[in-house]
Amino acid sequence: MPVVIVENDTSQWEDQTGAVYHFPKRYSTWLVEGTEVIYYKGRIKDKGYASLRLSADPHYFGKARIGEIHADRNSTKGDLFALIENFTPFEEAVPSKIDGLYLETVPATRVKNYWRDGVRPISQADYDAILSHAKLMPPQTGQQKPKSEDDPLTFESANEGSKSSYFGTRYERRKDLRMQAIAIHGLDCKACGFDFEQAYGEHAKGFIHVHHEVPISNFGGEKAVNPATDLVTLCANCHAMVHRKKDITLSVEELKGMLRVRWVFES
């Protein structure tokens, strides 16, 4: 059954359009691998987001497919992450209502609270109706540019007089891959176990570096990045250490072999 997924301009959920959808356990019946989804946004609340939306009114703005589902390791309530595949943005907003009629069939028993649901299973007919009004753009595969200022991955290594960033590949800076890597691997360091939020509290929530492990055989070659196998989450120290020598990048296993301290946090 196709599903409408809501993505608000701001929310407690760590969504990344076209890459990751973060949701509570109660929606896991609907959001399973292979489900076709349509993205929806409710009416604008903060005008500051106007330029990031296709419309200020409630509307649909893209379609995609649900990929792998991963548990949110930081959630005590069983929240989940879905990886998003094949995100295809709409060229223009498809309004929720056309000629006075909603494109989604609202069950008679749900008139009052239907639109509150963040995940809404819909009929194939409704799915087709929404898409019949949509002009599709080419599917998006990670064209999202890294944010320069506030992206923790773009700060530079000031040590040893090196001005260049030691966070080597562009994959480490790509927001969509970064969010997928965190959804899969969690927010703790895969070499030493360090967890920023556990160490520094709320201020550090969500902070971790994402490292791209380049297999020797693929070095210099272009291939699609698999966030499950090619990316790993590392703390800032371990990340700096794997990139410390210019000519060689340590594998996470090699680094673990050198480690003398492992952080163990109580959770």
Number of residues that this document lists for the chain:
267
Between 120 and 211, name the residue whose CB sits nearer to Zn ion: 211
Q: How far is the CB of 164 from Zn ion (least distance, A)?
A: 13
CA angle 6, 8, 12 (to 5 degrees): 105
Q: How far is the CB of 223 from Zn ion (least distance, A)?
A: 17
Q: What is the DSSP string of 58-97?
A: SEEEEEEEEEEEEE-TT-SS--EEEEEEEEEEEEEEEESE
Q: How far is the CB of 183 from Zn ion (least distance, A)?
A: 18
93, 65 contact by CB (below 8 A): no
Q: How far is the CB of 257 from Zn ion (least distance, A)?
A: 14
Q: How far is the CB of 181 from Zn ion (least distance, A)?
A: 11
Burial of 101 from C-beta contacts in 10 A (0-12 / 13-18 / 19+): exposed
Q: How far is the CB of 17 from Zn ion (least distance, A)?
A: 25
Residues that bind Zn ion (CB under 5 A): 189, 191-192, 194, 211, 235, 238
Q: How far is the CB of 189 from Zn ion (least distance, A)?
A: 3
Cα–Cα distance, 85 to 106 (Å, whole number): 27
Cα–Cα distance, 183 to 127 (Å, whole number): 27
Between 123 and 237, name the residue whose CB sits nearer to Zn ion: 237
Q: C-alpha 24: how far from its chain's center? A: 15
Between 42 and 186, name the residue whose CB sits nearer to Zn ion: 186
176, 19 contact by CB (below 8 A): yes
| Side-chain-facing half-sphere of 133: CA atoms under 13 Å | 20
Between 68 and 213, name the residue whose CB sits nearer to Zn ion: 213
Between 41 and 211, name the residue whose CB sits nearer to Zn ion: 211
Between 141 and 237, name the residue whose CB sits nearer to Zn ion: 237
Between 120 and 190, name the residue whose CB sits nearer to Zn ion: 190
Q: What is the DSSP string of 112-128?
A: TTGGG-SEEE--HHHHH
Cα–Cα distance, 12 to 198 (Å, whole number): 19
